Structure 1
């Protein structure tokens, strides 16, 4: 500080009393590095060091000025009648106080900025992290509840789920062959642009895949494609993200989402084309399940121009599977799942 540099070599005579009952002793008072040094004039040996910020004048405005190293905790005093030294002590104390004030203000500003930074980080990071965590830890039962909530939203656009018992029995028969034993397949009256996979192993197809196809192969291939093209973790994350932060918190604490958490999610899903897996991956899966690929390809593009690799790569293009997916009676029952 400028004030310290200016008065660093200033010295003056003073009278020091080491204790209230001690006699006065002549000393040399000098300004040190933020300290007031009292030295023996005979040999320059320091007798006492006082911290300048703590030094107080016991008789403000009076000369000789009487100083103590602090208001409490010390019995020492020193009398100084040199006006320049008195002025120096006052100015140095003022400079130290200003510096301390600036330092405290800067520290407060940095503290506030730090708190704001942490709050901003939490505001922007925490919701996304909580949503991702809720999606990751959701057990199968919760994931299936989310899937059915999305299906309920889809019903607003595509119609109520078709539930004719004979047709659903055929779907239940097909499910382990096409997907897995824990999966569920549902049919809605309206078109969905293919099969849609929902969280919790729930799959939905539109009745158009049943009414306009010569057999069950196209619908079956769409279901296999939906399974290959999407992952359950990603589906859960997208659904919980749609539900939002508070709904995610409710899912983690109470185990279920609010009733309207999936409102609009089904409509948003239908605005996008059904995801498709890579041709090679799909062809391999269809061959494993003994399902021809051409009916699936023709359901996407009847001309076959945009799906030529699927048609040409169909493992059963020359000879259909020896065993059909369904009997004629089963296929008829499935086609009539939305009847009545």
Structure 2
């Protein structure tokens, strides 16, 4: 310690008392290697005080009175005239104090790191873990219930799904032919198409009323199925609704109405996603459906859907009919118009 070297040969006279009842004795005080040496007038050491364990009984006052840490009965009184010795002891005490470990600071630092770690886990890991667990344990029947609940909320904004009995029968035949989940024809507000948890697909009535063949409606239904296969719709619901929704679903088996209302509104207002062209062509191939009518319905110029036109898996072929002419007419009339 630099301060020790500076004061290594410093000495001063002082009054020392070993016990509260003892008489004070005149002594010589010198600074040694990490100790304060107290000697009698014949230069015989009486005691040694550790510099790391010296306390001052009267800070700022003269004469300065020091004692060992924890033993205020043993005192060393340094006269005010011994300015250099008093300043040396004080400086050494401060230097030792600064060099001591700060368990409190270390403890607070450790606590801060622990809290930060917990918060990081809560923010970055827990939400994903909860969603992942929910997707693993929530059964298909529960997903279907959530999809039905979302459909009811969408119907409040778009109107009830079209329900002409003959049209419903034709729609079921189309669904069975292309291999999708349940399909509902909506009177409006859904844009072109949507998909919900549980596999339900919503199609706008215009997709059957404004086209001459069922391939367009079938194409949009297959597009939604491809999107659902690429990204679990329940995962999107939980991710957009926050950690509480995942926790609620895992603990109660359901989602509250406010969560479903917000997500239904998001579905109707958010920009529509499009599936990967390669995946979509494969989906059309599996269903044996032409992709060209759907492609031109998306872009009448064909410029942005060239991959779907050129990659039409049924081009030059003779795919099975999607519906009979009679069923197609019934489907076009499903909304009563």
Q: What displacement does 1:143 show? A: 3.8
Residues 1:178 and 2:174 are matched in the alignment: no
Task: Select the residue among 322, 333, 338 that pairs with 2:335.
Answer: 338
How far apart are the structure 2 equivalents of 1:150 and 1:272?
Answer: 15
1:29–1:36 Cα contact (<8 Å) kept: yes
48 and 305 in structure 1: CA distance in 2 versus 1, 3 angstrom threshold:
closer
Q: What displacement does 1:154 show? A: 2.6
Unaligned runs of 5+ in 1: none
User: In structure 2, what is the equivalent of residue 137 of structure 1?
Assistant: 133
Q: What displacement does 1:205 show? A: 0.9
Q: What displacement does 1:338 show? A: 2.8
Residues 1:188 and 2:186 are matched in the alignment: yes
Q: What displacement does 1:93 show? A: 7.4
Compute the TM-score of the two structures, normalised by the length of structure 1: 0.71
Aligned pairs for 1:115-154 (under 5 A) are: 118=116, 122=119, 126=122, 130-138=126-134, 139-140=138-139, 141-154=141-154
Unaligned runs of 5+ in 2: none
Aligned pairs for 1:193-272 (under 5 A) are: 193-231=191-229, 233=231, 235-272=233-270
1:36–1:52 Cα contact (<8 Å) kept: no
User: In structure 2, what is the equivalent of residue 317 of structure 1?
Assistant: 315
How far apart are the structure 2 equivalents of 1:78 and 1:127?
Answer: 58
Structure 1 residues 197-246: Cα deviation after superposition (integer angstroms, max 9, x where no partner)? 22232211112112223332221121111222345755334323443454
302 and 150 in structure 1: CA distance in 2 versus 1, 3 angstrom threshold:
same
User: In structure 2, what is the equivalent of residue 70 of structure 1?
Assistant: 69
Q: How many residues align?
A: 330
SS at match of 2:259: coil
Q: What displacement does 1:9 show? A: 3.5
How far apart are the structure 1 equivalents of 2:323 and 2:293?
Answer: 15
293 and 337 in structure 1: CA distance in 2 versus 1, 3 angstrom threshold:
same
Q: What displacement does 1:3 show? A: 7.3
SS at match of 1:12: strand
SS at match of 2:316: coil
2:157–2:189 Cα contact (<8 Å) kept: no
User: In structure 2, what is the equivalent of residue 38 of structure 1?
Assistant: 38
User: In structure 1, what is the equivalent of residue 299 of structure 2?
Assistant: 301
86 and 164 in structure 1: CA distance in 2 versus 1, 3 angstrom threshold:
same
Q: What displacement does 1:291 show? A: 0.9
How far apart are the structure 2 equivalents of 1:233 and 1:316?
Answer: 26
How far apart are the structure 2 equivalents of 1:81 and 1:272?
Answer: 84
Aligned pairs for 1:106-117 (under 5 A) are: 107=105, 114=112
6 and 117 in structure 1: CA distance in 2 versus 1, 3 angstrom threshold:
farther
SS at match of 2:195: strand
Compute the TM-score of the two structures, normalised by the length of structure 2: 0.72
How far apart are the structure 2 equivalents of 1:162 and 1:33?
Answer: 96
User: In structure 1, what is the equivalent of residue 324 of structure 2?
Assistant: 327
Structure 1 residues 139-183: Cα deviation after superposition (integer angstroms, max 9, x where no partner)? 145544443343334323432122344444444444455345xx3
Q: What displacement does 1:131 show? A: 4.4
